[in-house]
Chains A and B, each alone.
Chain A
Amino acid sequence: MSIDLKTIKHISKLSRISVDEKKAEKLAGDLNSIFDFIEKLNELKTDNVEPLTSVAETTLKLRSDEVKSKNLRDQVIKNSPKENEDYFVVPKVIE
């Protein structure tokens, strides 16, 4: 299989990572060599195999629905690159 530049552009859009032509070509080369290597999995028949989603063979524990940490607003906002009083600030979305 081969990943072309159009596919790279599509993935970069889904990934929210901008790529220019030069970077797209490099990525196409890298991804193709990685996927050649991944294709090995097709040698295996897995029709009747259950997928493994977690190695931890436990069910999720329930806990009581209590608030344990309060008043974290300042901590939550502390690392934001741009804020205004209690809010995160992003470029204008609505015209």
Chain B
Amino acid sequence: MDLHRRDFFKVMGATGITLALGKELNAAPEAKMKDEFHGVLYDSARCTGCRGCEYDCAEANNLPEPIPNKDIKGPRKPDETRRTVVNEYNTSKGKVYAKIQCMHCNQPACGSACLTQAMHKTEEGPVIWRADKCMGCRYCMVSCPFDIPKFEFHSANPKIEKCTMCFETRIQKGEIPACAENCPNEALTFGTRRELIQEARRRIYEKPDVYVDQIFGEHEAGGTCWLYISPVPFKEIGLNTSIQKASYPELTKGFLYSVPSVFVLVPALLLGIQQATTKDNSNTESSHE
């Protein structure tokens, strides 16, 4: 009888392990289906600063219409009413433009900062924000090295505004982001990140006199889905070149990894010290019981 029971548990254990493993194995082909990260290549040598993408973005995301050219004074930043802006810079090669929006990092700081998974890196590449999960703590804004998430400070039901690469409205339906679809100068190219890096390299290789030999976003912040190539050094078109090459979540990894060991070691140590410092511990215990 006893032996039977033991066998029963063995079978149960084996089944459990198989079930656990089986799930993981089944997940593998599904991940392949999800493809690789997608992104957009922005070629500032092609961009003429028409700001058409700003208008397309506002329309696609139900945001107020962008301000007219005459009202623009100096470089702008995205804010809670606009997810992207195109700025004009007077550079060593004349006027060059730069579009700013979420970089959709491979390992986003905002995503690892979010304690409710409201900031979410999709398997397709875009980083999206989910209203039903967000509690409005704004830690994503503190963490983002590109300063992208914007918060509606003057609302009782505030949202975080940021570029989602039109994930829910277009990408999931098989369409490409609004800005990339409508760019008249083909300054914006949508594709898988791998293809885009190849395309960027090809352009730099074919026209070495036009481009600076660097792809912004290839290594910045551990790699981003939005990539930039430019005729002038990136600093001249307002990109943050002090961004570290390693991913930002890496910075808190050491701390977070120490948590389980602290949780195991410290209580044991404390209990040990407590037992050791209690006077006549064994005597009093035995006399009580």
A and B from one complex: no
- Spell out A's residues near B (CB within 8 Å): none
- Spell out B's residues near A (CB within 8 Å): none
